[in-house]
Amino acid sequence: MEAMPEEKAEFEEAEIKYVSYGGEHHLPLIMNLVDQELSEPYSIFTYRYFVYLWPQLSFLAFHKGKCVGTVVCKMGEHRNTFRGYIAMLVVIKPYRGRGIATELVTRSIRMMMESGCEEVTLEAEVTNKGALALYGRLGFIRAKRLFHYYLNGVDAFRLKLLFPPPRQELSPSLDT
Amino acid sequence: MIQYNTGKSAKRRASSTRSPTPSLFEILSSSNYSPMSDNAVSEEASMDGHPPNLASIPASDSTIWADASPLLQAACTGLRDGELIHGDNFNLFAAMSALEIMDPKMDSGIVRTYYSIDEAIENGAAPIPISPDSTVDVQSTIDIMDHLLACEAAWHKGHSLAQTVFSCIYLLRLDRTAPHALLHSYCRVTRATCKAVVSLVSDARTHEEEDLFTMMYGLPLNGDGDDKCLSMLNAVEETISRQLRACKAASSKRRLPEDLEPLQSNPNLEEGFCKALLCRLRFRKHFFHILACMKRPQGRGLESARKHIASCTTELESILKSADFLRSCFGESCEGDIDDKTTASGREPIGFDAMLNSRLSAPMPPRAIKILSWKKAVEYFVKLLHDLDVICSHSLDEHLESLLRFVVQFQKSQPDLVARSHLQLLLVQDGKLYGRDPFFAVITKAAALPEATKNHDIQKNESILQLGMLVMNLLKILCTNAAWQRRKLGKLLQDWRVIYVQLELAFRNAFGEVSSSSNDENICMKIFQHILLWVEEQTYWIAFRFLILGFELELYSTSEYCMVYWYLYAVLIKLAEKTHLKMTVSYDTAKRKGKKKKDSPKDLARESRIPPAVLFLQCYMCLAEGLTMMLAALRNEISVFQSPGPFNTEQEKFAQHFELLQRACIPDHVSYPSYKESTTHARFSTLAMYNYFKDAQRIVKEVKSSFSNDPDRLSELRKLEQVAEHNSVAQNLICRLGALDPSLKVSFEFSHHPFFPTVVVKRS
Which B residues 126-165 touch A at CB under 8 Å?
A: 157-159
- Full strand arrangement of the beta sheet holding B437-438: B428-429, B432-433, B437-438
Max distance between CA atoms of chain A, in angstroms, equals 49
Above 70 in pLDDT, residue B18?
Answer: no
Q: What is the pLDDT of residue B37?
A: 30
In this prediction the ipTM stands at 0.91
Residues of chain A below pLDDT 70: 1-6, 39, 151-152, 167-176
**Res B542 pLDDT > 60:** yes
For an interface test with B, give the residue of A147, A155, A163, A168 to mutate (most B CBs within 10 A). Answer: A147
- Identify all chain A residues contacting B93, using CB atoms and an 8 Å cutoff: 49
Q: Is the per-residue pLDDT at B750 higher than 60?
A: yes
Top-confidence residue, B651 or B60: B651
> How far, in Å, CA of B173 to CA of B220, rounded?
9
Q: Does A141 touch chain B (CB under 8 A)?
A: yes
Q: Report the pLDDT value the prediction gives residue B607, as an integer from 0 to 100.
A: 56
Confirm if B487 and B542 have CB atoms less than 8 A apart.
Answer: no
Report helix, strand or coil for A67.
strand
Residues of A in contact with B90 (CB under 8 A): none
* Amino acid at the residue B312: C
Q: Which residue of A has its CA nearest to B483?
A: A145
Query: Mean pLDDT, chain B, as a whole number?
Result: 84
> For B548, left (φ over 0), alpha (ψ -120 to 50), or beta?
alpha
pLDDT of residue A110: 97
How many A×B Cβ pairs under 8 Å? 115
Q: What is the pLDDT of residue B25?
A: 37
User: Are B151 and B164 contacting, i.e. CB atoms less than 8 angstroms apart?
Assistant: yes
Nearest CA in chain B to A152: B369
d(CA B321, CA B467): 52
What's the pLDDT tens digit per position in B570-591?
Answer: 999 999 999 999 988 877 766 6
What is the Cα–Cα distance from A95 to B48, expressed in whole angstroms? 39
| pTM of the model as a whole | 0.86
Q: What is the pLDDT of residues A98-145, one digit of tens each?
A: 999 999 999 999 999 999 999 999 999 999 999 999 999 999 999 999
In chain A, what residues touch B553 (CB-CB under 8 Å)? 145
Rounded to 5 degrees, what are φ and ψ at B90? -70, 140
Chain A 56-95, CB below 8 Å of chain B: which residues?
Answer: none
Could you count the other beta carbons within 10 Å of the beta carbon of residue B133? 14
Please, which residues 630-689 of chain B have a Cβ atom closer than 8 Å to chain A?
Answer: 643-649, 651-653, 655-657
The reply to whether B554 touches chain A by the CB within 8 Å rule is: yes
Residue window 578-637, chain B: list those with CB within 8 Å of chain A: none
CA atoms within 13 A on the CB side of B692: 18
Question: Measuring CA to CA, which residue among B191, B203, B143, B183 is closest to residue B166?
Answer: B191
Q: How far apart are CA B183 and CA B191, in angstroms?
A: 12
Q: Cβ B96–A138 below 8 Å, yes or no?
A: no
In this predicted structure, the answer to whether residue B759 has a pLDDT above a threshold of 90 is: yes
- Exposure string of A49-80, with b = 16+ CB inside 10 Å and e = fewer, is bbbeebeebbbbbebeeebbbbbbbbbeeeee
% of chain B beyond a pLDDT of 70: 84
